[in-house]
């Protein structure tokens, strides 16, 4: 598939040394099979199972008045932090361990990250890799209150997760949600999180670039990623990237750094993607996907056959795919393929494998019409197809 712009090849090169801000003590890479020479654990392990240190009190004193004589930009930074800070939480990922002698089961913190309050019902948005491999979870508010949290839903392809905690007796405020399709390079941004376990840390910077494509597990990508020079470090992962009006415009997710600490190149998932996915995770527990309604031959066999594209394996009778004219693969008596439909593009966007097919359908809804480019023998056919829901 021809790259849409230079950013894809650039980000592919960066991916080899990209450090994910997971905060897990195990330091597992976010990328399947990623090299380990420069990829380091992005949050220090918690020694001896100790709980992360959070320097907060149960009732924080009122903030001091803003001094006179500060620049307008300084006042804006202070005001945004004071308004948004109470909505940023500390997320702890715990493992269950059984004592060899007593057989008692205890929770052992194995990593941490950040998150932010999505709504008044206690839903918290964070990164999937922050909670990955965890068994129990907790969120700590800036007031010092810690509550058990449960995973409501995850979308691994976009590195997003939603937690929920009991809000009884608490006053919480959700962060206002902005838009990422109107951002411009050079715009001021603020990142709030808990790097290295240091709660409510603020860093500032600008939007360095837009439209980046960031690879995730399984060959999928997050599109329209925001690049920023705001200092993002291990533990910031899952925290909000905020504009000067105090609106969330992204979720901090990764940095490019050979050393494992901020090198001035950080990445955030755009809020437009987050706002599309999070409501589905809250309602259904996962994303409702739109698809072609077919089964496909694995990429492994497609490569062995020398095919570039997605090979249609089975088309079900009465399905939208059947009505569109797609055909199931044909086999001879020995089990060798003799005929097959190969999808090579969707709405003019080339697809060389299943991951690229899924990326091309990302953001589409069941019922949407798409134009497929299908190779059948020596023919190239345009087929219109209505997308089907392929499960919750």
Question: Rounded mean pLDDT of 44-65?
Answer: 51
- Residues 193 and 119 grouped into a single domain: yes
b vs e for 247-285, b when ≥16 Cβ sit within 10 Å of the residue's Cβ?
bbbbbbbbbbbeebbbbebbbbbbbbbbbebbebbbeee
Residue 142: CATH number of its domain: 2.40.10.120
Position 342 scores a pLDDT of 95
Q: Across 6-20, 64-78, 101-115, 237-251, which has the greatest mean pLDDT?
A: 237-251
Position 369 scores a pLDDT of 93
Active-site residue numbers?
A: 129, 159, 237
Token pair, residue 180, equals: 């990422």
- Residues 233 and 258 grouped into a single domain: yes
- Residue 108: CB partners within 8 Å, gap ≥ 6? 49, 94, 95, 96, 97
Q: Is the pLDDT of residue 145 over 50?
A: yes
pTM of the model: 0.69
Confidence of residue 55 (pLDDT cuts 50, 70, 90): very low
64 or 128, higher pLDDT: 128
Average pLDDT along the chain: 80
Where among 256, 286, 316 does a domain terminate? 286
- Residues 108 and 140 grouped into a single domain: yes
In order, the DSSP letters of 303-331 are HHTT--SEEEEEE-TTSHHHHHT--PPEE
Distances (CA, A) of 344 to 128, 238, 297, 306, 338: 31, 35, 14, 13, 19
Confidence of residue 100 (pLDDT cuts 50, 70, 90): low
Where among 286, 306, 330 does a domain terminate? 286
Q: Which domain, by its residues, includes 81?
A: 1-286
- Residues 276 and 299 grouped into a single domain: no
- Residue 69: CB partners within 8 Å, gap ≥ 6? none
Question: Rounded mean pLDDT of 169-187?
Answer: 93
Confidence of residue 132 (pLDDT cuts 50, 70, 90): confident
Percent of the chain predicted with pLDDT > 70: 78
Nearest Cα to Cα of residue 88 among 253, 200, 198: 200
pLDDT tens per residue across span 271-308? 999 998 999 999 989 888 888 988 899 888 888 888 99
- Residues 246 and 360 grouped into a single domain: no
- Residues 224 and 319 grouped into a single domain: no
Where among 286, 318, 340 does a domain terminate? 286
- Residues 32 and 165 grouped into a single domain: yes
Residue 313: CATH number of its domain: 2.30.42.10
- Residues 310 and 192 grouped into a single domain: no
- Report the domain count for the chain: 2
- Residues 117 and 195 grouped into a single domain: yes
- Residues 105 and 168 grouped into a single domain: yes
Q: Is the pLDDT of residue 50 over 60?
A: no
- Residues 272 and 129 grouped into a single domain: yes
Position 277 scores a pLDDT of 92
- Residues 176 and 267 grouped into a single domain: yes
Position 74 scores a pLDDT of 92
Q: Is the pLDDT of residue 155 over 80?
A: yes
Question: Rounded mean pLDDT of 33-39?
Answer: 33
């Amino acid at each position: 598939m021809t790259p849409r712009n230079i950013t894809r090849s650039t980000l592919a090169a960066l991916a080899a040394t990209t450090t994910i801000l997971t905060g897990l003590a195990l330091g597992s890479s976010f990328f399947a099979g990623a090299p380990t020479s420069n990829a380091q654990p992005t949050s220090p392990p918690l020694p001896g199972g100790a709980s992360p240190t959070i320097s907060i009190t149960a009732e924080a004193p009122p903030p001091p008045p803003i001094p006179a004589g500060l620049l307008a930009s300084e006042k804006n930074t202070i005001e945004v932090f004071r308004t948004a800070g109470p909505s940023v939480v500390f997320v702890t990922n715990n493992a269950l361990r059984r004592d060899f002698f007593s057989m008692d089961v205890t929770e052992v913190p194995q990593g941490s990250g950040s998150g932010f309050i999505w709504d008044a019902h206690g839903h918290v948005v964070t990164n999937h890799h922050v909670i990955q491999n965890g068994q129990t979870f907790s969120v700590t508010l800036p007031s010092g209150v810690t509550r058990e949290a449960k995973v409501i839903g995850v979308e691994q392809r976009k590195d997003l997760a939603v937690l929920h905690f009991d809000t009884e007796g608490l006053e919480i405020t959700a962060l206002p949600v902005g838009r990422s399709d109107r951002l411009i390079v050079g715009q001021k941004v603020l990142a709030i999180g808990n790097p290295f376990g240091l709660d409510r840390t603020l860093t500032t910077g600008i939007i360095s670039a837009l439209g980046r494509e960031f690879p995730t597990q399984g060959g999928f990508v997050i599109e329209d990623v925001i690049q920023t020079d705001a200092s993002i470090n291990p533990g910031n992962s899952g925290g909000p990237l905020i504009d000067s009006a105090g609106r969330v415009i992204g979720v901090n997710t990764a940095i490019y750094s050979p050393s494992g600490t901020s090198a001035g190149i950080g990445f955030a998932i755009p809020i437009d993607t987050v706002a599309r996915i999070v409501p589905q995770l809250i309602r259904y527990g996962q994303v409702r996907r739109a698809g072609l309604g077919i089964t496909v031959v694995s990429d492994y066999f497609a490569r062995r056959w020398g095919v570039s594209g997605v090979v249609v394996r089975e088309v079900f009778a009465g399905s939208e795919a059947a009505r569109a004219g797609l055909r199931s693969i044909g086999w001879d008596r020995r089990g060798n393929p003799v005929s097959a439909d190969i999808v090579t593009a969707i709405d003019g966007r080339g697809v060389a494998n299943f991951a690229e097919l899924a990326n091309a359908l990302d953001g589409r809804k069941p019922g949407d019409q798409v134009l497929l480019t299908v190779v059948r023998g020596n023919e190239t056919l345009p087929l219109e197809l209505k997308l089907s829901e392929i499960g919750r």
